[in-house]
Chain A
Amino acid sequence: MWQWIHKWGSPRVFYRFSLRVTPWLWCAAALLLGIGAVWGLAFAPPDYQQHDSFRIIYVHVPSAMLAESCFALLAVCGAIFLVWKIKLADMVARVAAPFGASMTFGALVSGAVWGIPTWGTWWVWDARLTSMLILLFLYMGVMALRYAFDRPDSGGRAAAVLALVGVVNLPIIKYSVDWWNTLHQKSSFSLTQAPSMPASMWVPLLLMMLGSYLLFAALVLTRTRHEILRRESRSRWVRALIAPDAGSSDTGV
């Protein structure tokens, strides 16, 4: 177990692994997102009440899910970094935070655009919307805190503590539609029940969600690889990697 952790915590092993799997991840993500987007936007039947405006769901739901998952990832990485002092976890947390923040922003904006045809307003002070807004602020706090320190290590640890504290917001977002009487509808998609919409509507949504997760994984792995090169630029293996053909593009710098 310990050997396994140390093996995968080593930037060098991770770099090799990432280099091998990311091309597949990028391709799979592009494929799923492509099919999902075309199917969802062009071929899925229009909703009987919302007509074509419901198609925003294909952007809104995946970005909202990623926004939450990404914060959970920040917290998990933060815990690993604080407890076992594995630097790789900090690198992942660092590169994932801006992506999560942009997904949260995307979910809020797509929700606002969707709100106009369905609710008649850009914004309501409803529990789901407000807790998402808090999530955006938490992301900003985590990122600002990281760069406030002179030494990147202290910034990473401080950001990890804040991510762990901020994770209390995730169950609030998740259950806000059940706990409070909100304008935002309840989740119509779950692991345990059949979806309440026809397959031609939810299959593209599922594809979009899977595709977004793959895109997220590919992006985080690629950016972590760049981060490894940046931070480990003094180590021997990185030099050996770059020195023989400094101009080649597959080193990722």
Chain B
Amino acid sequence: MSSDSGPQWRRAFCAVLVRDMRLRLRHGSDWGSPLVFFALITTLFPLATTPDPVTLARVAPGVVWVAALLAVLLSLEALFREDRDDGTLEQMMFSPVPTWWLVLAKLCAHWLMTGLPLALVAPVPGIMLALPAQGFWALSLSLALGSATLILIGAIGAALTVSVRRGGLLLSLMVLPLYIPVLIFGAGVVRLAGEGAAVAPYLAILGALLAGALALAPWACAAALRLGQDS
């Protein structure tokens, strides 16, 4: 590695991050749809089960988390597709900066445009589902941490199915089993906070899952994208 590669890496990271965020911001539906979807799914549950606040409060952590998980999953399908269709992905692989680094920049942009907004608006469905007020911060914090892990894991699936026609269903089939640990601990944080119990251990596990995914997923993503380009 040459001595000036540090600034080069940083520049490339920022360039990809800014480009992706700008593209998202210009297409309002790109970042708006997952939020609307999230709100809609959480609305369906009280209608389908019961509007009784006591029952709702008990299932609220799970319902909000499942809805957020599905919203993240739906947003992932298009993660690499446009870049593949217009050749950007190929250019990224020719870059002297490793692909996993650029993938990481793309995923950061995706989290800023999907995961973070979901985490910020989550207390609103929380109120509607009668979640106890002391659970709100736990909901936002667990979703902020967890959605990053979900995006990192799901990106592997998105990279694998980028060249598959109608890969959306396949993506869910592959990724949902891997999402289960994040869902268990993420919803667990909210449930414990609602009961007034200590949430630090569960948050620590969520953080550990994020650290593990952060270390492995960009690398696996880059490998999967390269496989897709070979074929």
Interface residues in chain A, defined as those with a beta carbon under 8 Å from any beta carbon in chain B: 82, 130, 134, 137-138, 140-141, 144-145, 148-149, 151, 153-154, 157-158, 161-162, 164-166, 168-169, 172
Contact = CB atoms under 8 A, between A and B. Distances in A.
Q: Using C-beta atoms within 8 Å of the partner chain, give the interface range for chain B.
A: 20 to 34
Contacts of B227: 154, 157-158, 161
Secondary structure class of chain B's binding surface, majority of residues: helix
A100 to B, nearest CB: 14
A157 to B, nearest CB: 5
In the complex, the 6 A-B pairs of residues with the closest C-beta atoms, listed nearest first: A154-B231, A141-B174, A137-B177, A134-B177, A158-B160, A157-B227
B177 A165 contact: no
16 contacts: A134-B177, A137-B177, A140-B173, A141-B177, A144-B173, A144-B174, A154-B163, A154-B230, A157-B227, A158-B224, A161-B156, A161-B220, A161-B224, A162-B157, A165-B178, A166-B177
Contact of B170 (A130, A145, A157): A145
Given A148-B170, A154-B228, A161 B177 contact: no
B128 interface: no
B66 interface: no
Contacts of B223: 82, 161
A34 to B, nearest CB: 36
B211 interface: no
Contact of B160 (A130, A145, A169): A145
Given A165-B178, A166-B178, A141 B173 contact: yes
Contacts of A148: 161, 164, 167, 170
Looking at A138, A144, A154, the one whose CB has the most chain B CB atoms below 10 A away is A154
